[in-house]
Structure 1
Amino acid sequence: MERFKSFMNKYKWFVIGGVVALIIIIVVATLLVKNHKIDVEDDVKVSFNGYNKTGTAEITDDSYEKIMNKLQVKALKQAGFKNKEVLNMIENNETDDLDEDDFNYEEQQQARTAGKILEHVNLDIHNGEELKNKDKVTVKLTIDKGISKDYKLKVKEFTKSFKAHGLKEPENIEAKDLFTALKPKFTGVNGAGSLNLISKDLPKSLQELSISNYDFTVANNGNLSNGDEVKLKIPQSLIDDINESGSSTFSGKSTQNIKVKGLKNISNLDNINELIDKNNTLIDKEYESDEYTKYNTENLGNYYKIQADTADEYSFGEEEDESSEKVSPVSEVEPTYVSLITAVKVTKTGKYSDPDVSYTYQGYNNYQLEDNRLVKDDMTDKMSMTSSKDKQDELNNDLKSDGFKEIK
Structure 2
Amino acid sequence: MENQSKFCPHCGTENKAEATFCANCGQSMTINQADNKEPETKEKRPVNKKMIGIIGAIVAVILIVGGIFAYINAQPKSILGSVKVNFSGYNSQGTASISGNYEKKEIEIIGKKVGMSSSEIKSLENGNLNANLPYLTKNSPSKLQKFAKYVEDTRINLSQSQNLSNGQKVTLKITTTLKDNPIKQETKKYTVKSLEKATTYTIETALKENPVTFTGFNHFGSVKFDDDEFTVNNDDSDSAPADLTNGERVTVQLSENYISGQKDNGKILSGSATKTLTVSGLTNSPKISNLNDLLTQEDTVVRADNESTTGDFGTTYTVTRLDSYFVGTNVSEWGDTSDDENGEFSVVTIYKVVSHFNDDTDTSNDTTGYDTYGYTGLTLTDGKVDVSRLTDDNKYEGGSSSSEQAAVDQLKSDYSSATKLD
**Do they superpose with TM above 0.5?**
yes
Offset of residue 344 of structure 1: 0.8
Whether the 8 Å CA contact 1:123–1:140 is kept in 2: the answer is: yes
Offset of residue 269 of structure 1: 2.5
Whether the 8 Å CA contact 1:301–1:342 is kept in 2: the answer is: yes
Q: For the aligned residues, what is the CA RMSD?
A: 4.5
Aligned counterpart, 2:103: 68
**Structure 2 counterparts to residues 322-333 of structure 1, below 5 A:** none
Using the alignment, how far apart are the partners of 1:77 and 1:257 within structure 2? 73
2:345 match: secondary structure: strand
Using the alignment, how far apart are the partners of 1:390 and 1:233 within structure 2? 40
Amino acid across the alignment from 1:136: K
- 2:323 equivalent to 1:301: yes
2:351 match: secondary structure: strand
User: Residues 35 and 252 from structure 1, CA distance in 2 versus in 1: closer, same or farther, beyond 3 angstroms?
Assistant: closer
**Structure 2 counterparts to residues 86-97 of structure 1, below 5 A:** 86-90=120-124, 93-96=125-128
Partner residue of 1:278 out of 297, 303, 324: 297
Aligned counterpart, 2:78: 39
Amino acid across the alignment from 1:280: D
User: Residues 184 and 153 from structure 1, CA distance in 2 versus in 1: closer, same or farther, beyond 3 angstroms?
Assistant: closer
Using the alignment, how far apart are the partners of 1:400 and 1:29 within structure 2? 98
User: Residues 339 and 231 from structure 1, CA distance in 2 versus in 1: closer, same or farther, beyond 3 angstroms?
Assistant: closer
**Structure 2 counterparts to residues 135-174 of structure 1, below 5 A:** 135-144=168-177, 147=178, 152-167=180-195, 171-174=199-202
Aligned counterpart, 2:5: none
Using the alignment, how far apart are the partners of 1:284 and 1:315 within structure 2? 23
Offset of residue 396 of structure 1: 0.7
Q: Could you tell me which runs of 5 or more consecutive residues in structure 2 were left unpaired when the two chains were aligned.
A: 1-46, 236-240
Aligned counterpart, 2:229: 211
Aligned counterpart, 1:194: 221
Offset of residue 54 of structure 1: 4.8
- 2:380 equivalent to 1:380: no
Whether the 8 Å CA contact 1:53–1:133 is kept in 2: the answer is: yes
* Cα displacement string for residues 305-364 of structure 1 (whole angstroms, at most 9, x for unaligned residues): 2335xxx834636xx69xx9xxxxxxxx94532222321111222232611211112222
Using the alignment, how far apart are the partners of 1:194 and 1:107 within structure 2? 70
- 2:371 equivalent to 1:364: no
Aligned counterpart, 1:6: none
Amino acid across the alignment from 2:302: I
Aligned counterpart, 1:336: 343
Aligned counterpart, 1:396: 408
Using the alignment, how far apart are the partners of 1:347 and 1:171 within structure 2? 73
Whether the 8 Å CA contact 2:87–2:192 is kept in 1: the answer is: yes
Using the alignment, how far apart are the partners of 2:80 and 2:391 within structure 1? 72
2:102 match: secondary structure: helix
* Cα displacement string for residues 290-316 of structure 1 (whole angstroms, at most 9, x for unaligned residues): 3332222221112232335xxx83463
1:274 match: secondary structure: helix
Offset of residue 22 of structure 1: 10
Amino acid across the alignment from 1:215: N
Using the alignment, how far apart are the partners of 2:152 and 2:347 within structure 1? 76
User: Residues 70 and 314 from structure 1, CA distance in 2 versus in 1: closer, same or farther, beyond 3 angstroms?
Assistant: farther
Amino acid across the alignment from 1:284: R
Whether the 8 Å CA contact 2:254–2:273 is kept in 1: the answer is: no
Offset of residue 73 of structure 1: 1.8
Using the alignment, how far apart are the partners of 2:184 and 2:210 within structure 1? 58
Using the alignment, how far apart are the partners of 2:259 and 2:94 within structure 1? 16
User: Residues 96 and 153 from structure 1, CA distance in 2 versus in 1: closer, same or farther, beyond 3 angstroms?
Assistant: closer
User: Residues 278 and 123 from structure 1, CA distance in 2 versus in 1: closer, same or farther, beyond 3 angstroms?
Assistant: same
Using the alignment, how far apart are the partners of 1:41 and 1:235 within structure 2? 50
Whether the 8 Å CA contact 1:172–1:250 is kept in 2: the answer is: no
Moved more, 248-257 or 14-23: 14-23
Whether the 8 Å CA contact 1:280–1:342 is kept in 2: the answer is: no
Using the alignment, how far apart are the partners of 2:110 and 2:219 within structure 1? 77
2:270 match: secondary structure: strand
Offset of residue 398 of structure 1: 0.9
* Cα displacement string for residues 156-200 of structure 1 (whole angstroms, at most 9, x for unaligned residues): 3322001223445554333432332333444335x5662533318
Whether the 8 Å CA contact 2:150–2:181 is kept in 1: the answer is: yes
Q: Could you tell me which runs of 5 or more consecutive residues in structure 1 were left unpaired when the two chains were aligned.
A: 1-8, 201-209, 325-332
Partner residue of 1:345 out of 352, 365, 376: 352
Using the alignment, how far apart are the partners of 2:344 and 2:353 within structure 1? 28
Structure number with larger C-alpha Rg: 2
Amino acid across the alignment from 1:95: G
TM-score by length of 2: 0.66
Whether the 8 Å CA contact 1:55–1:132 is kept in 2: the answer is: yes
Offset of residue 382 of structure 1: 2.1
Using the alignment, how far apart are the partners of 2:135 and 2:421 within structure 1? 87
Same amino acid, percent of matched pairs: 19
